[in-house]
Structure 1
Amino acid sequence: MSRPLRLAVFDVDGTLVDSQHHIHAAMGLCFEGQGLECPPLAQVRGIIGLSLPQAMRRLISGLTDAQYDALVEGYKNTFKTKRLAGEFAPLYAGVIQMLDGLAQDDHLLLGLATGKSRRGLNAVLDGHGLTSRFVTAQVADNHPSKPHPSMLLAALSETGVEAQDAVMIGDTTFDMEMGRAAGMHCIGVSWGYHLVDDLRTAGAAWIVDDAAALQALLDGFWG
């Protein structure tokens, strides 16, 4: 009897791509455009992974709906300008090698679940030559913000994999809470934007410290 298909779903920002400084710079420009002071990097790191409307409301309170909308549009336009200029956040060390290794398993499917827009995700994947790596890619355009499980439920539906045969991999509590809500296994990565203790509290059953360790865990995950 052949082995069942398995699914590993990755977050993007803070898990595959180290985008914190690009995100903070874009936040600075969009806040400046509205005459507002940009929150510090540590605060911005805390909202990475959320969809933009939710992120803006966590970063600053007391604005009108029109002001929040303007911040979101300003951020999108800033990031579009950066993409057109060929500016891409770097991949974390070992990510390409890890994905190459996981691709050797014909029974393991790879997916993405990100707070990015489809346009933003496509730019990152194209910029790093990753477009063909993932069989399912869920984005903020089509789903409620993390930690709602909608993205992962859609990934499971698209691939036909059962939740017990799937794992969510991410660097934030939003990822762990989303994975747990979808009934999936949860792996936290220590190199991202939320504290390891917080990841464990949110549902991470395993924590890995580099891409090679993540590959090794996934290689033996289901026995």
Structure 2
Amino acid sequence: MSADLRLILFDVDGTLADSQDAIAAAMRFAFEGQGLAVPARAEILSIVGLSLPLAMDQLAPSHPSEVRAQLVAGYKQAYMDKRLAQGAGHSPLFPGAAEVLAQLHAVPEYLLGVATGKSQRGLDALIAAHGLDCFVTRQVADHHPSKPHPSMILTALAETGVEPADAVMIGDTSFDIDMGRAAGVRTIAVDWGYHPAAELGADHIISSFDQLAPLLQQIWKT
């Protein structure tokens, strides 16, 4: 009898990829392009994981909707231009990320997926830049309500046929952990991301990627 399939979902920005410099630079370009004061870096990083319209709602709440729409457009253009110019160096992977993805991908009953606030275009570009062709389900902001709505995870579960008890969500922000909780899956916070891990209320916390495989074995031990 074959082992049950397990779904391991990853957030991207702040969890797999260290994209904070790219995000801060694109946000600065967007705000300066509208003649607005640039939010503090900590404020910018606090909204990483939200879809761009919601992020701009939080960063520029007093400005008209048309201005916030221009901020979204400016951010997208700046982010894409830098990505095309810098390639894999634009959003480097955190130490150990590529290795743990390869390790987990080699386990027959493990299915890997992504649930990210990135666009489809942005995710596809990052996957291509780093050769990460290990994800069987890829949920992006284009097709779902923003985190922490559970739509991304629920869709990934439906696509893979995995039950919530056999899935985990791994992320670095409250949006990731709240999304996982809303979808009824276990949650794992990483402590190298953009929100303090100890404040997220996750089921588990890891401080390096080499802790992930043993933790998953513990979670799903029979």
Q: Structures share a fold, TM > 0.5?
A: yes
Q: Aligned-pair distance for 1:82?
A: 1.1
- Show CA shifts across 1:112-140 (max 9, x none): 0000000011111111111x210000000
Q: Secondary structure in 2 aligned to 1:135?
A: strand
Equivalent residue, structure 1, for 2:46: 46
- Structure 2 CA distance for aligned equivalents of residues 86 and 42 of structure 1: 24
Q: Aligned-pair distance for 1:197?
A: 2.4
- Structure 2 CA distance for aligned equivalents of residues 15 and 84 of structure 1: 22
Equivalent residue, structure 2, for 1:168: 169
- Structure 2 CA distance for aligned equivalents of residues 36 and 158 of structure 1: 42
Q: Which runs of 5+ in 2 are unaligned?
A: none
Q: Secondary structure in 2 aligned to 1:112?
A: strand
Across the two proteins, how many residue pairs are aligned to each other?
219
**For the Cα contact (< 8 Å) 2:60–2:68, is it kept in 1?**
no
**For the Cα contact (< 8 Å) 1:110–1:134, is it kept in 2?**
yes
Map 1:86-97 → 2, pairs under 5 A: 86-87=86-87, 88-97=90-99
- Show CA shifts across 1:48-76 (max 9, x none): 00000000111122111110100000000
Q: What is the identity, as a one-letter code, of the residue corresponding to 1:51?
A: S
Q: Aligned-pair distance for 1:199?
A: 1.2
Q: What is the identity, as a one-letter code, of the residue corresponding to 1:28?
A: R
Equivalent residue, structure 2, for 1:121: 123
RMSD of aligned alpha carbons: 0.9
- Structure 2 CA distance for aligned equivalents of residues 197 and 95 of structure 1: 21
- Structure 2 CA distance for aligned equivalents of residues 218 and 100 of structure 1: 15
- Structure 2 CA distance for aligned equivalents of residues 99 and 138 of structure 1: 17
Q: Aligned-pair distance for 1:104?
A: 2.0
Runs of at least 4 residues off by over 6 Å: none
- Structure 1 CA distance for aligned equivalents of residues 197 and 180 of structure 2: 16
Q: Aligned-pair distance for 1:216?
A: 2.1
Q: What is the identity, as a one-letter code, of the residue corresponding to 1:222?
A: W
Q: Secondary structure in 2 aligned to 1:109?
A: strand
Equivalent residue, structure 2, for 1:150: 151
- Structure 2 residue aligned with 1:219, among 211, 214, 217? 217
- Structure 2 CA distance for aligned equivalents of residues 48 and 211 of structure 1: 21
Equivalent residue, structure 1, for 2:35: 35
Matched, 1:59 2:51: no
Q: What is the identity, as a one-letter code, of the residue corresponding to 1:125?
A: I
- Structure 2 CA distance for aligned equivalents of residues 35 and 219 of structure 1: 52
- Structure 2 CA distance for aligned equivalents of residues 103 and 74 of structure 1: 36
Q: What is the identity, as a one-letter code, of the residue corresponding to 1:207?
A: I
- Structure 2 CA distance for aligned equivalents of residues 149 and 32 of structure 1: 34
Equivalent residue, structure 2, for 1:208: 206
**For the Cα contact (< 8 Å) 1:102–1:219, is it kept in 2?**
no
Q: Aligned-pair distance for 1:40?
A: 1.1
Matched, 1:112 2:110: no
- Structure 2 CA distance for aligned equivalents of residues 79 and 119 of structure 1: 11
TM-score (norm 1): 0.96
Q: Which runs of 5+ in 1 are unaligned?
A: none
Equivalent residue, structure 2, for 1:98: 100
**For the Cα contact (< 8 Å) 2:19–2:91, is it kept in 1?**
yes
* 54-63 vs 132-141, greater mean Cα deviation: 54-63
Q: Secondary structure in 2 aligned to 1:86?
A: helix
Q: What is the identity, as a one-letter code, of the residue corresponding to 2:143?
A: N
